[in-house]
């Protein structure tokens, strides 16, 4: 049976989350305090960690940092449940990238589904989302990448947002110029989603799109590639972005 660790500064929220996993997982809970969390956990090493950061304060985050720096837990999938304000506190004080970010109001079946997926994909092939309205380009890029990555191709910004709402991407290749919602507009919306806040995004541009490239710089993408892109250059850029 898989094991899950639930950490919270609220005993009620911790109990509610634990109830969602009863009968499905071995559950260990730890109440966030100034005490060392590892002492509460003991020898228990989970397959996934859930941190409910509801109403979190800066000084209460140090035990989480210590936990993630422990080699036993460093590679364990990490789920953050927090509202927008608490996410800001978390991001300002911890250099930890959650594998999934959700709201504190998430339902029991939903959080269990997320944890199931994260555990199932440990050691998984990394996922690349390719967004371009040109089907020929999508097919070419998929042929370049499918031996190294799990590649999903979509034809619009709206389809990219639908993907990001349900899936975790390790890198996004995003066409700058698309009808309807263009690349920069799509990236702004991706950054507004829980799963897209920190995902590396590489813009795919044409030689005639210099003005759009300039407008996209403020969004801090992981890079730009001019189409048609070479296979080796594309893979090198993706690997560099995911480091």
Task: Check whether residue 82 and residue 8 sit in a common domain.
Answer: yes
107 and 152 part of one domain: no
**Better-scored residue on pLDDT, 94 or 108:** 108
Give the burial string for 106-139 (b: 16+ CB within 10 Å, else e).
Answer: beeeebbebbebbbeeeeeeebbbbbbbeeebbe
Domain end marker among 70, 102, 120: 120
| Predicted confidence (pLDDT) at residue 34 exceeds the cutoff of 60 | no
Beta pairing, strands 3-8 & 48-52: parallel
197 and 153 both lie in a single domain: yes
Cα separation of 60 and 225, whole Å?
42
The domain containing residue 63 runs over which residues?
3-120
Do residues 92 and 68 share a domain?
Answer: yes
The domain boundary, picked from 120, 137, 154, lies at: 120
pLDDT band at 175 (very low <50, low <70, confident <90, very high): very high
Distance of alpha carbon 185 from alpha carbon 200, whole angstroms: 16
Residues 111 and 188 in one domain: no
Indicate the number of domains in the chain.
Answer: 2
Averaged over 100-116, what is the pLDDT?
91
Determine what percent of the chain is predicted with pLDDT higher than 90. Answer: 42
Pick the last residue of a domain from 81, 100, 120.
120
Q: Does pTM top 0.75 for this prediction?
A: no
Residues 141 and 53 in one domain: no
Average pLDDT value for residue range 47-76: 79
**Residue 186 belongs to a domain with what CATH number?**
3.40.50.2300
Average pLDDT, the chain: 86
């Amino acid at each position: 049976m898989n094991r899950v660790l639930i950490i919270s500064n609220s005993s009620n929220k911790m109990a509610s989350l634990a109830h969602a996993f009863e009968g499905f997982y071995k559950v260990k809970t730890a109440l966030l305090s100034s005490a060392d969390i590892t002492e509460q956990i003991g020898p228990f090493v989970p397959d996934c960690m859930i941190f409910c950061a509801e109403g979190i304060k800066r000084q209460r985050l140090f035990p989480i940092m210590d936990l993630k720096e422990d080699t036993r837990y460093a590679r364990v999938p990490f789920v953050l449940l927090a509202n927008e304000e608490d996410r800001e506190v978390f991001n300002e004080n911890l250099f930890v990238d959650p594998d999934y970010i959700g709201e504190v109001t998430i339902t029991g079946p939903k959080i269990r589904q997320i944890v199931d997926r994260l555990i199932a994909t440990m050691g998984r092939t990394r996922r690349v989302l390719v967004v371009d309205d040109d089907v020929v380009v999508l097919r070419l890029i998929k042929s370049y990448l499918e031996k190294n990555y799990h590649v999903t191709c979509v034809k619009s910004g709206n389809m990219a947002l639908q993907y990001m709402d349900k899936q975790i991407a390790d890198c996004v290749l995003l066409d700058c110029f698309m009808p309807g919602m263009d690349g920069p507009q799509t990236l702004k919306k991706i950054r507004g989603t829980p799963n897209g806040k920190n995902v590396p995004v590489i813009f795919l541009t044409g030689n005639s799109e210099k003005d759009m490239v300039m407008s996209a710089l403020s969004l801090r993408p992981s890079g730009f590639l001019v189409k048609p892109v070479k296979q080796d250059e594309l893979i090198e850029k993706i690997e560099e972005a995911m480091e």
